[in-house]
Amino acid sequence: MAANPPVETGERPSGWLDQRTRLGPVIRASLHVRIPMSARTYYFGGIALFLFGIQVVTGTLLALYYKPTPEAAYESVQFITSDVSFGWLIRSMHHWAANLMVLFVGLHLVRVFMQAAYKYPRELTWVLGCLLLLVTLGFGFTGYLLPWDQRAYWATVVGTEIAGGVPIVGETLLLLLRGGPDVTGDTMSRFFGIHVLVLPLMLAGLLAAHLLLVHQLGLANPRRPEPRVATPESRQERLRPFFPHYLIDELVAWYVILAILVVLASLFPVGLEGPANPLETPAHTKPEWYYLGVFELLKLVPIKVVGIMIPVVGIGLLVVWPFLDRSPEVLIRRRKVVVGGATLVIIALLALTVLGFVS
């Protein structure tokens, strides 16, 4: 049986690997794109991608020693942190990278919103980005339980309790999350499975689609709307190569983030509270900082259902926003209502988070 003849692409395979994979054109098409000189990404998206890479590497190393059962989880985390060579570094990097990832995905979303980069033709890129944010938050939520210490256990009890307050589906959602009426070993099993299998696959798929769309559509110009039909003006846009010019900038940003991670992991290594004890409720149970705003909102709003529905509806609005905001304007000064409203929401969220910290 003869091998298929090489497809005629007009380009001859140059190197040894290229001859055997014929991926040269794909790689060249991915790297050798040009982006507008005026594009300002502040590297937020790239940093989030880098942090995801860190999570994959450190998470894999942690999984080599971690034991996902209530009897063994706590001691295995203690073993990783105290006895495994550089285990403390791996665990601390995983912890801090997770926090920074949530932060930078959030900053990326705010940047895209403020620059109106969600508008035509990037609506689907935005929707995929929102889903990536939810998956990232899901990573944080499921990963938080895994050390099985007091903080992890009770934060999960509170978190799942909030999910249980969602109207109509709340009770089912609570049972689905916990694997029963209480947070037990069943909860840990499914959180571990979701954390290391379901969410990484989801994130990889969504991320691939997100990056593919970014590649195909290019970076948005923050100064003018994307024309539906290419105009001479748009063809005269000053461009620069993605590789290596833009990528070097990204690399510098990644190095800076790596330095921050090393400092955080060295000076503020992640600790471990006492083993989870379902019979001993700590005095002040609080979720992670990125859930504190919602947590505080729930405390302030007297009607629980309303408190829960505000963020649920907010996230729903965020996802479909490009289909609601049909105006082609991209400049902030011409989108005062939208930008002002978003700023107010951000300030409120920050204020609630600060309140959650101090209360």
Partner 1 sequence: MHQHVTARRRALRLGAILALAGGAWFALAFSASAESPSPSADAAGSPSPSASAPTVPTPGPSDTGWMFETPAPIDQVPLATAPPLPPLVVHPDGAGVNGCYDCHSAVNNKQAAITAEWESSAHGQAAVTCAACHGGDPGTDQIGKAMDRAIGYIGAPGRMETVGLCGSCHANVARMRTSGLPTDQYAQYWSSVHGQLLVTENDTRVAVCTDCHGAHDVRKVSDPKSKVFATNVPALCASCHSDARRMEPYGIPTDQLDVYSASVHGVALLENNDTRAPSCTSCHGSHDAQPPTSTNVVEVCGQCHTATQELYEQSRHSELKAAAPKCWTCHGTHDVSKASSALFFHPETPDYTCTTCHDLTTHTLRLELSRFENEADRRCDSCHHPDSQIYAQIEGISDAVVSAEAAYEEADQTIQEAARLGMITADAEVALMGAKTSLIQAQAAVHTTSLTKIAALSTDAKTKSEAAMALATAKVDENVFRRQAMIIVLAFILLSVAFLVITKRRLDRELEEG
Q: Which stretch binds partner 1 (CB under 8 A): 76-84, 97-105, 118-126, 207-215?
A: 76-84
Taking Cα atoms as reference points, which of 138, 143, 131, 137 lies closest to residue 208? 131
Q: In terms of residues, how long is the chain?
A: 359
Check whether the bond before 244 is cis (ω within 30° of 0): yes
Q: Which two tokens stand for residue 354?
A: 């600060």
Per-position x/- string for 26-65, each x denoting binding to partner 1 as judged by CB under 8 A, each - no binding: ----------------------------------------
Taking the complex as a whole, how short is the minimal distance between the CB of residue 316 and partner 1, in angstroms? 40
Taking the C-alpha atoms of residue 166 and residue 349, their distance in angstroms, rounded to an integer, is 20
Binding range to partner 1, per CB under 8 A, among 137-145, 213-221, 250-258, 298-306: 250-258
Q: Which is nearer to partner 1, 4 or 85 (CB)?
A: 85
Rounded least distance, CB 137 to partner 1, Å: 26
Amino acid at 293: G
| Smallest gap from residue 263 Cβ to partner 1 (A) | 6
Q: Should residue 255 be labelled a site residue for partner 1 when binding is judged by CB under 8 A?
A: yes
Q: How far apart are the first and last CA of the chain?
A: 74
CB 58 within 8 A of CB 93: yes
Contact 265, 89 (CB under 8 A): yes
Token pair 């099993």 is found at: 189
Q: What is the per-residue DSSP string for 185-246?
A: HHHHHHHHHIIIIIHHHHHHHHHHHHHHHHHHH-PPPSSSPPPSS--HHHHT--EEEIIIII
Q: Is 248 in the site for partner 1 (CB under 8 A)?
A: yes
Residue type (1 letter), 324: L
Q: Which of 23, 29, 63, 252 binds partner 1 (CB under 8 A)?
A: 252
> Does the protein bind partner 1 through residue 21 (CB under 8 A)?
no
Q: Which stretch binds partner 1 (CB under 8 A): 103-111, 190-198, 255-263, 299-307?
A: 255-263
> What minimum distance in Å lies between the beta carbon of 282 and partner 1?
17
| Binding status of residue 81 toward partner 1 by CB under 8 A | yes
What the block records as the tokens of 220 is: 């948005």
Q: Which of 25, 138, 185, 269 binds partner 1 (CB under 8 A)?
A: 269
Please give the C-alpha separations between residue 101 and each of 82, 147, 162, 276, 314, in angstroms, as whole numbers: 25, 19, 23, 26, 21
User: Is residue 323 a contact residue for partner 1 (CB under 8 A)?
Assistant: no
d(C-alpha 125, C-alpha 106), whole Å: 15
Binding flag, residue 121, partner 1 (CB under 8 A): no
State which of residues 258, 309, 319, 355 lies at the interface with partner 1 (CB under 8 A): 258
Residues within window 226-245 making contact with partner 1, judged by CB under 8 A? 240-241, 244-245
Q: Can you tell me which of 23, 31, 60, 268 binds partner 1, judged by CB under 8 A?
A: 268
281 part of the interface to partner 1, by CB under 8 A: no
**Separation CA 83–CA 106 (nearest Å):** 35
Q: Note the residues at the interface with partner 1 (CB under 8 A).
A: 78, 81-82, 88-89, 240-241, 244-245, 248-249, 251-252, 255-256, 258-259, 262-263, 266-272
